[in-house]
Amino acid sequence: MYTLEREQFFAISLERAWDFLKDPANLNAITPEDLHFTIISPVPDTMFEGMIIEYRVAIPLFGTRRWVAEIKHIREKRSFVDEQRIGPYSFWYHYHELAETEQGIRVADRVCYAVPYGVIGRLLYAMFIRKTLDRIFDYRKERLAVIFG
């Protein structure tokens, strides 16, 4: 099991941050273009408990993969979870959190995940997967900084 954690701070209102994060379509705006991320299922403007979202995502060297996630544990203007149901990881649990702090609104991510394929998966993780996830979350950080100004 691996963990990825990130946080950043914005001088915006909690409502503005939540309004952006609660709209599933906004994931397109914070995902690198080379992943060819596409939402396949219809999505409302606001996520809801138990919502299932189907995506297609390009995984370098492995082609396009189906990813199905469930939105869970929504705490209005505080946090939510997206949990992979079908996808490239053997386990994926992504906790999103917002908090008001002296430095501004804290946007935090904690992803707990496991890779498939045993020893081969661990080698792929060391050579490729971790770097790819770092790049994706670095891109997300840059895009949120632009979006939230």
Nearest one of 114, 145, 123 to 4, comparing CA atoms:
114
Q: Which residues pair with 104 in a beta bridge?
A: 101
Residue carrying structure tokens 């050579």 = 127
Condensed to tens digits (0 to 9), the pLDDT of residues 14-26 reads 999 999 999 999 9
Residue carrying structure tokens 């080379």 = 34
**Encoded amino acid at 102, one letter:** E
Longest alpha-carbon distance in the chain? 45
Number of domains in the chain: 1
- CA 58 to chain centroid, in Å, comes to 15
Condensed to tens digits (0 to 9), the pLDDT of residues 59-116 reads 877 789 999 999 999 999 999 999 999 999 999 999 999 999 999 999 999 999 999 9
- Which domain range does residue 72 map to? 2-147
Determine the pLDDT at residue 35.
93
Name the pTM for this structure.
Answer: 0.94
Which H helix or E strand runs over 103?
none
Determine the pLDDT at residue 130.
96
Residue 106 maps to which CATH number?
3.30.530.20
